[in-house]
Amino acid sequence: QSDGHRLFAGPVAAAEAAGATVVQLDMSVPFTAARARNAGFDALTDSQLVQFIDGDCRIVPGFVEAAAAHLAAHPKLGMVTGWRSEIHRDASVYNQLCDWEWRRPAGDILACGGDMLVRAAAWSEVGGMDPTVIAAEDDEFCTRLRKAGWRLERIPQEMTRHDAAMTRFGQWWARAVRTGHGFAQVGFLHPDYFRSERGRVLVYGLALPTLIALGLLVWPWLSVLALLAYGLNYVRTARGLAAEGLP
């Protein structure tokens, strides 16, 4: 067996022992989460509603029933999601940030993360997830779902418990890089989506560093002003998080 097969042997055996049907992917083909979700859906028979969940989450009892009832009552809804929260919220500032990111207002939404109860007919209509999307594949799927005429909603119901397990800056940085890849790739596929996120990347990741470098060569005060923009952004962000109850 390859190293990859040995790596996943334990979880696969545990899942099978619990009575789950396990779909083995051809790992000679580049892996993406979207490809795995498609394979899982395709393995189902006569499905009407499908609950997707990330591998580092667990379902809160009662959510599936509440979400299914909501879908049954609103035939124009293609997908329902709920509230995710961190299992170990206070283990690190990074976990706290994740927990804050998950807690968004209930109501109509543009997209959600990987935990969602999806109407199988809606999933099939748009062709499931794009297996070539490396990050933010759930955002890309939700965007196509909306463009096909389906509504998306977050209900005020606890949905999943998530374990970010981020205790080091390097882990947060890797997550930020992956997120940035999602902004770029999904933004390329759907230029009307992730506009503000891509704009911030261009300003803070390209324009301001260029001004700092240029200022060092031409006019030092230009570098100071560009650095000041980072400071102002930090203050604005810190105040916003404090208003949300974060230290």
Q: Which residues of the chain have pLDDT under 50?
A: 1-7
- As a whole number of angstroms, the distance between CA 210 and CA 171 comes to 27
**CB of 94 within 8 A of CB of 166?**
yes
- As a whole number of angstroms, the distance between CA 150 and CA 79 comes to 8
User: 172 vs 109, 159, 165, 178, 179, CA distance in Å?
Assistant: 26, 24, 10, 10, 10
In Å, how far from its chain's centre is CA 44?
24
At 111 the pLDDT is 97
Tell me the residue type at 187: G
DSSP-derived secondary structure letter, 207: I
Cβ-in-10-Å burial (0-12, 13-18, 19+) of 123 comes to buried
At 9 the pLDDT is 67
Within 10 A of 182 (CB to CB), how many other CB atoms are there? Answer: 19
C-alpha torsion sign, points 14, 17, 18, 24? positive
- As a whole number of angstroms, the distance between CA 230 and CA 228 comes to 5
DSSP-derived secondary structure letter, 222: H
pTM for this structure? 0.89
- As a whole number of angstroms, the distance between CA 182 and CA 197 comes to 10
Beta-carbon contacts of 6 under 8 Å, excluding residues fewer than 6 positions away, are none
At 5 the pLDDT is 42
- As a whole number of angstroms, the distance between CA 129 and CA 38 comes to 6
In Å, how far from its chain's centre is CA 222?
37
User: 48 vs 13, 36, 189, CA distance in Å?
Assistant: 28, 19, 28
Tell me the residue type at 82: G
CA angle 104, 184, 246 (to 5 degrees): 30
At 65 the pLDDT is 97
